[in-house]
Amino acid sequence: MVKSSKILDLPQGLAGEFLFNEPLSGHTSFRIGGPAEMLAIPYGEHSLAELLVKIKRQKLNYYVLGNGSNLLAEDRGYKGVVIKIARGFKNLSRDKNRLTVDSGYSLPALVDYCAREGLSGMEWAVGIPGSLGGALVMNAGAYGGQMADSVKKVWGLTPEGKKLKLSPKQIDFSYRQANYPKGFVITGAELELKPGRRSSIKKAMALYLSKRKKNQPLTLPSAGCIFKNPPGDSAKRLIAVAGMKGQKLGGAAVSVKHANFIVNQGGAKAAEVLALIKKIQSQAYQRLGIRLIPEVKILGK
Ligand SMILES: Cc1cc2nc3c(=O)[nH]c(=O)nc-3n(C[C@H](O)[C@H](O)[C@H](O)COP(=O)(O)OP(=O)(O)OC[C@H]3O[C@@H](n4cnc5c(N)ncnc54)[C@H](O)[C@@H]3O)c2cc1C
């Protein structure tokens, strides 16, 4: 194994936090994951650009992490640099109905901001524990809304550390999917919202939150829905029909409350979650002829 402190020869004075052999379990909502050789939290775009240049020069692997709420990090950890977009990417500014938002801005904070300012269009995102960057990659969505509905432009850095701006057309958003150039690190976006009554916005948010609390196992660590819904059907329903609801493996379990959630009941390993994912897929295929496609991303491959 590479001696961890030698993994990356950092430029002097690079603003950020650089942690070695950092357990990813502390950076994912699943609370699962082995160590990243290096976890880098660059404080802003300039530091990020320098970091990317260094990584490229030293031919290291990197993986971009937002709030880790759609991720399963493998038990063996990650060989390379995990770049966490957080501190240093938290600005938001407003010009009428348009917001310029950094990618490390929290989605719940963005939803609250819109509600306070009487801007409608993000209500659906209430209760989604991601960052804006993660939501832009996943084209996160719920209750009939999705990120793509509000996006005017997305910008970020290429693996060479060069700035790049993309239009929604270039990103080609679809259901829980978006196409960015390989290795692209999103640093911000322009969103367009509509003026709305604060009371109506808050009412919609309260309704969506109560639905989440009623239907989702929010008291245990998870990564939200594990599979995408097949066209015209719900993965939750299919997993239950395939007889997988409540199935357990070690500390991991298919939630009884919402069968498309796998929850960490305590000390679950990524290997256990992956084995449950495979079992659900094979049961859904054998019993129903349906191929379920994971929505959750795997960090470590
Ligand atoms: C309880 C719960 C409920 C949830 N409900 C929903 C829901 O209703 N709808 C929904 O769509 N999702 C839901 N999710 C999943 C998740 O919260 C969203 O997908 C969220 O948008 C992910 O954001 P993140 O910052 O946590 O991304 P991460 O999990 O950190 O990353 C997700 C992907 O985005 C990439 N990425 C992250 N940031 C950047 C960046 N700045 N630049 C480039 N790539 C980046 C990562 O490499 C990874 O491929 C839920 C999760 C939980 C735990």
* Ligand 1 centroid to residue 210 C-alpha, Å: 21
* Residue 28 burial (10 A CB sphere; 0-12, 13-18, 19+): buried
Which domain-ending residue is among 214, 238, 267? 214
Domain end marker among 153, 188, 214: 214
Cβ atoms of 121 and 150 closer than 8 Å: yes
Q: How far apart are CA 139 and CA 203, in angstroms?
A: 24
Do 279 and 199 reside in the same domain of the chain? no
Candidate of 78, 137, 213 to mutate for ligand 1, largest count of ligand atoms within 8 Å of Cβ: 137
pLDDT tens track of the chain, all 301 residues? 334 446 788 877 899 999 999 999 999 999 999 999 999 999 999 999 999 999 999 999 999 999 999 999 999 999 999 999 999 999 999 999 999 999 999 999 999 999 999 999 999 999 999 999 999 999 999 999 999 999 999 999 999 999 999 999 999 999 999 999 999 999 999 999 999 999 999 999 999 999 999 999 999 999 999 999 999 999 999 999 999 999 999 999 999 999 999 999 999 999 999 999 999 999 999 999 999 999 999 998 5
Read off the DSSP letter of residue 58.
Answer: T
Judge whether 111 and 69 are in contact, CB under 8 Å.
no
Whether residue 206 is found in the same domain as residue 286: no
CATH code (residue 142): 3.30.465.10
Distance 206 CA to ligand 1 centre (A): 22
Based on the domain organization, do 123 and 185 belong to the same domain?
yes
Task: Name the residue among 125, 284, 94, 89 with its Cα closest to residue 195.
Answer: 94
Atom 28 of ligand 1, residue of closest alpha carbon: 68
Q: Which of 205, 242, 225, 2 is nearest to 108 (CA)?
A: 205
Closest CA to 298 of 39, 76, 8: 76
Same structural domain for residues 205 and 220?
no
Residue 109 is encoded by which pair of tokens?
A: 């904070």
Residues 206 and 101 in one domain: yes
- What is the number of structural domains in the chain? 3
256, 215 contact by CB (below 8 A): no
If asked whether residues 239 and 290 sit together in one domain, one would say yes
Q: Beta 141-142 vs 119-120: how paired, if at all?
A: unpaired
**Residue of the nearest CA to atom 47 in ligand 1?**
64
Pocket test for ligand 1, best of 65, 136, 184 (most atoms within 8 A of CB): 65
pTM of this structure: 0.97
Residues 177, 228, single domain; the answer is no
Asked if 125 and 220 sit in the same domain, the reply is no
Q: Which residues line ligand 1 (CB under 6 A)?
A: 29, 63-71, 85, 103, 128-131, 133-135, 137-138, 140-142, 185-186, 216, 218, 222-224, 297
Q: HSE of 273 in the Cβ direction (CA atoms, 13 Å)?
A: 32
Q: Which helix (H) or strand (E) holds 117?
A: helix 107-117
Residue whose CA is at the smallest distance from ligand 1 atom 35: 134
pLDDT reported for residue 107: 98
Quick check: 104 and 61 in contact, CB under 8 A? Answer: no
283 alpha carbon – ligand 1 mean position (Å): 26
| Residue after which a domain boundary falls, among 58, 84, 110 | 84
Provide the CB-side half-sphere exposure for 114 (13 A, CA): 32
State the distance from the centre of ligand 1 to the C-alpha of 142, rounded, in angstroms. Answer: 13
From 24, 69, 261, mutation site for ligand 1 pocket: most ligand atoms within 8 A of C-beta = 69
Q: What is the DSSP string of 138-198?
A: HT-EETTEEGGGGEEEEEEE-TTS-EEEE-HHHHT-BTTB----TT-EEEEEEEE-EE--H
CA of 133 to the centre of ligand 1 (A): 8
- Ligand 1 atom nearest 216 alpha carbon: 1
Domain that holds residue 196: 92-214
One DSSP character per residue, 272-287 reads HHHHHHHHHHHHHHHH
* Rounded distance from Cα 69 to ligand 1 centre (Å): 5
Q: Are residues 207 and 222 in the same domain?
A: no
- 184 and 229 co-located in one domain: no
Tell which residue, 3, 100, 93, 84, has the closest CA to residue 48.
84
Distances (CA, A) of 198 to 42, 117, 135, 146: 36, 7, 23, 20
For 173, the token pair is 């958003």
Task: Let me know whether 193 and 232 are in one domain.
Answer: no
Token pair of 126, please? 């209430």
Integer Cα distance of 184 and 164 in angstroms: 9
Task: Tell me: do 265 and 192 sit in the same domain.
Answer: no
DSSP state of 225: B
Question: Ligand 1 pocket check: which of 138, 154, 225 to mutate, most ligand atoms within 8 Å of Cβ?
Answer: 138
Nearest atom, ligand 1, residue 129 CA: 17
